Amino acid sequence: MVRNYDPDRPVPPEVVDRILGYAVHAPSAGFSQGWGFLVLDEPADRQAFWAATTPEGMGNDSWSAGMSRAPLIVVPHSSRDAYLERYAAPDKGWTDRDEARWPVPYWHIDTGMASLLMLLGAVDEGLGACFFGIPPECTERYRNAFGVPDSHTPIGAITIGYRAEDRLSPSLRRGRREVTDVAHRGRWGAGY
Ligand SMILES: Cc1cc2nc3c(=O)[nH]c(=O)nc-3n(C[C@H](O)[C@H](O)[C@H](O)COP(=O)(O)O)c2cc1C
């Protein structure tokens, strides 16, 4: 994840198109494709995004300074209703639309997969990117600012741009967990 960008180098429109093209090639349960992407590449729109999603009294830190230099923000949204609708179709048959049928909310999973394709695609295009959360107390203000309907949930947001020098997340000090710590062969707890 990259958290500081060159503000003077916009992402060329054809690259923006390609990044969104990667997103729509993500896998999705039942090929539901219940996602929607808000693309913000105009300075006024990006400014409105940061105004809406920054909690009161915050935004004066280096994280905000670097992130708000990104020339492109994509907000991926998931639509639970699109999945309940898709799986009520005759070939699936879950006409009760009962959410308890779902092992986990695949609408969020699939939108996360689309997000990862955009992150990887950005790197392939020579760009940097960062997935980050929209604070829950700001979601309503964000929806109002951009006319996002209740049917769609922003699962986070992605800044994209040409990378400038940045500071690695302090979280990385935790170190990466080894495969042997997290993988289990044959039986949970049996080791790898
Ligand atoms: C679901 C999710 C939410 C994240 N939220 C934030 C965030 O709010 N702010 C931020 O700076 N980074 C955020 N990150 C980035 C993580 O901090 C980062 O992926 C992690 O530290 C590993 O670093 P790397 O992706 O550069 O390897 C988020 C990543 C994910 C997958």
The response to whether residue 144 sits with its C-beta less than 6 Å from ligand 1 reads: no
| CA-based max dimension of the chain | 55
The response to whether residue 62 sits with its C-beta less than 6 Å from ligand 1 reads: no
User: Ligand 1 test: best mutation among 69, 119, 130, most atoms within 8 Å of CB?
Assistant: 130
pLDDT tens string, the chain, 192 residues long: the values are: 999 999 999 999 999 999 999 999 999 999 999 999 999 999 999 999 999 999 999 999 999 999 999 999 999 999 999 999 999 999 999 999 999 999 999 999 999 999 999 999 999 999 999 999 999 999 999 999 999 999 999 999 999 999 999 988 999 999 999 999 999 999 999 999
What's residue 130's pLDDT? Answer: 98
User: Ligand 1 test: best mutation among 54, 78, 131, most atoms within 8 Å of CB?
Assistant: 131
What's residue 117's pLDDT? Answer: 98
Residue 1 Cα to ligand 1 middle (Å) = 7
Q: Are 158 and 115 in contact (CB under 8 A)?
A: yes
The response to whether residue 169 sits with its C-beta less than 6 Å from ligand 1 reads: yes
Helix, strand, or coil here: 94?
coil
What's residue 66's pLDDT? Answer: 98
Cα 189 to Cα 185: distance, rounded to the nearest angstrom: 8
What's residue 79's pLDDT? Answer: 98
The response to whether residue 172 sits with its C-beta less than 6 Å from ligand 1 reads: yes
What's residue 26's pLDDT? Answer: 98
User: Ligand 1 test: best mutation among 132, 134, 174, most atoms within 8 Å of CB?
Assistant: 132
What's residue 84's pLDDT? Answer: 98
What's residue 78's pLDDT? Answer: 98
DSSP 161-188: E-B---PPPGGGGG-PPPHHHH--SSST
